[in-house]
Amino acid sequence: MPWDNGKANPGWNATRCSPIAEDPDAVGEPCTAEESATSGVDSCEAGAMCWGVDDELNGYCNPLCGGSLEDLTCPDEYACSVSSSSVVAVCLETCSPLGDDCDQPELACFAINNEFGCIVPGRGQPGDACDFINDCDPQSACIGAPSPSCESDSCCAAWCDLDNGGSAACMALDPATDCVPWFTEGEAPDGLENVGVCFGE
């Protein structure tokens, strides 16, 4: 299980063998972590981890990614998210950033490579500096310099709907931005063709 061994940067930084609960919680069920969200010990069944853990150490069981780093696999309706250190490889419920469709109320929809998954959101507003994909609030993405007003290498940028007044919504937030497609033409997954992000020149 991924855990924080206290010897490197805070957060999941190593793996260890952890005990399985006597009556484990299944994927999709509520769960609890012991001691902290990054202890590596929780109430989930083998092959899953307690995800989206709150201050009360409650979360939901998400499956761990299978396969290898070169060919990661997840059940249907999930996308694999791998940490920069490759310590955590967890399957996240897929979603659309334009809809409130994460089953777990503590989570929000963020971009993971060419897919979207449900992650604990941050608080960054459009224009705020960000470092990680989920540093921003649920209505924003962390992308490289989305507008002239971005004073960092990466800032939060609002999602917009290409088919439903996206350009006007972007200009209302920042007149220097327009609603541009998130995906390259022809590469958007089914149902996500209208996802855009507010971006400027």
Tell whether 85 and 140 lie within a shared domain: no
Structural domain ending residue among the three candidates 75, 93, 111: 93
What range does the domain containing 10 cover? 2-93
- List, for residues 65-110, the tens digit of each pLDDT value: 998 878 889 998 888 888 767 888 999 988 999 987 788 777 889 8
Q: Which runs of E-coded beta strand occur in the chain?
A: 2-3, 14-15, 30-32, 48-51, 58-63, 66-68, 71-73, 78-82, 89-93, 108-112, 115-119, 140-144, 154-161, 177-181, 195-200
Rounded to 5°, angle at Cα 115 from 28 and 103? 25
Q: What is the pTM of this model?
A: 0.76
Number of Cβ within 10 Å of residue 119's Cβ equals: 26
Cβ atoms of 69 and 15 closer than 8 Å: no
Same domain, 26 and 72: yes
**Is residue 10 domain-shared with residue 87, that is, in the same domain?**
yes
**Domains of the chain: total:** 2
Of 54, 61, 63, which Cα lies nearest the Cα of 120? Answer: 54
pLDDT value at position 138? 87
In a domain, 28, yes or no: yes
Which is more confidently placed, 135 or 101? 135
pLDDT tens, position by position, 16-68: 999 999 999 999 999 999 999 999 999 999 999 998 888 899 999 999 999 88
Does 105 fall in a domain? no
CA–CA separation, 86 and 84 (whole Å): 5
CB 62 within 8 A of CB 90: yes
d(CA 120, CA 92): 11
Same domain assignment for residues 136 and 185: yes
Within a domain: 57:
yes
Which residues are paired to 191 by β-bridges?
Answer: none
Structure tokens at 137: 């609030």
Do both 66 and 145 map to the same domain?
A: no
